[in-house]
Amino acid sequence: MIHDKVLELAKKYEPEMTKFLRDLIRIPSESSQEKQVVLRIKEEMEKVGFDRVEIDPMGNILGYIGKGKHVIAMDAHIDTVGVGDPSLWEFDPYEGKEDEECIYGRGASDQKGGMAAMVYAGKIIKELNLEDDYTLIVTGTVQEEDCDGLCWQYIINEDKIRPEFVVITEPTACRIYRGQRGRMEIKVTTHGLSCHGSAPERGDNAIFKMAPILLELRALHENLHYDDFLGKGSLTVSEIFFTSPSRCAVADSCTISIDRRLTNGETWEKALQEIRNLPAVKAANAEVSMYTYERPSYTGLVYPTECYFPTWVLPEDHVACRTLVDAYTTLFDEEPVVDKWTFSTNAVSIMGRYNIPCIGFGAGHEEEAHAPNEKTWKKELIKACAMYALIPITYVNKVK
């Protein structure tokens, strides 16, 4: 049976796949610094037999297999966050440490493991001649950690690529994920009047104006909308800034950043208005707005966007979800867990903005993301690789 051969080859190529992953981990690639890891991925795609490999003007890498009419994409972002406090790591985060069970290092789960598994799935597709009436595009995308989905805004709008569905290979512990909460990056600013700190009554302290707003935001968080599948909306204050002539002066402005998570049924307009309606915001005449993102990619390209990342949910009976469920049960002879992500992915643009169906499956665990001593599991890389090899032909057989 073909699924047995797919799984056999995924196991056979585990040493090559993990070696490739270790190479990727050894190349630091924080957002807007991904050039060298992109070139390493290009080298491996060409080595295993991809039909065509391109790097677009933003710096995303796109590997193609097949020329059929059904366009399917699989996506891994290949940037990472930094390492944080080095003293919290028990090993060099860029060593690519390996033992019998795991690969360790920054990006192992989030989410260079997904890229490694996709590339070797491509090798299996070519070796077993699993090409059919589909074109598979494997994308290694940039700047996701900084601005999730921006890369796919570019791919859809500028590269003019619109797949029938996209597999997001972020970590799911080899479960199938069909949705996530959206998010917004919001700023609230109060204004005051500076004066000498020895006579604060002469001024108007912008930091004091912010204090009751913070308390009301904490209360607002407790009362946000709840969805049966995605759970409750949330907010947290993540940053605080001020301006003042000196330490011996009254602050003349204060700004906070809010990480707002949007559950199903919430909109960005509603989220902003809830904050604008707070009594302390009105009393302070505070400004409430969304951040924008305008950081250049490693190629120098700037592609501005508002920091709004929409919620998305794929119905459980959608053909993309059924495709992954069937591929999973065929390969592993058990029913998969179908669930959702807690964090955000590139699907905020792909499905959230453009309504292109997304479904998630990946090696690694969410709790490893952005944490010290990050790792992923070899057995999960094998499962993910086998899934990615079988998904395209499973889908085509469903829609014929």
Three-class secondary structure of residue 167 per DSSP? strand
Looking at 34, 44, 75, 79, which residue is catalytic?
79
Of 337, 348, 8, 368, the closest CA to residue 144 belongs to 348
Establish whether 100 is a catalytic residue. no
Amino acid found at 102: C
Amino acid found at 341: W
Residues 350, 72: Cα–Cα separation, whole Å: 13
The DSSP bridge pattern shows strands 165-168 and 70-77 to be parallel
Establish whether 79 is a catalytic residue. yes
Residues 236, 83: Cα–Cα separation, whole Å: 23
Q: Which residues contact 218 (CB under 8 A, 6 or more apart)?
A: none
DSSP 55-86: E-TTS-EEEEE---SEEEEEEEE--B-----G
- Residue 49 half-sphere exposure toward CB, CA atoms < 13 A: 12
Looking at 34, 44, 144, 274, which residue is catalytic?
144
Can you tell me which residue has the tokens 């700037």? 302
Q: Which residues contact 188 (CB under 8 A, 6 or more apart)?
A: 210, 213, 255, 256, 258, 275, 281, 286, 287, 288
For the annotated catalytic residues, the residue numbers are: 79, 144
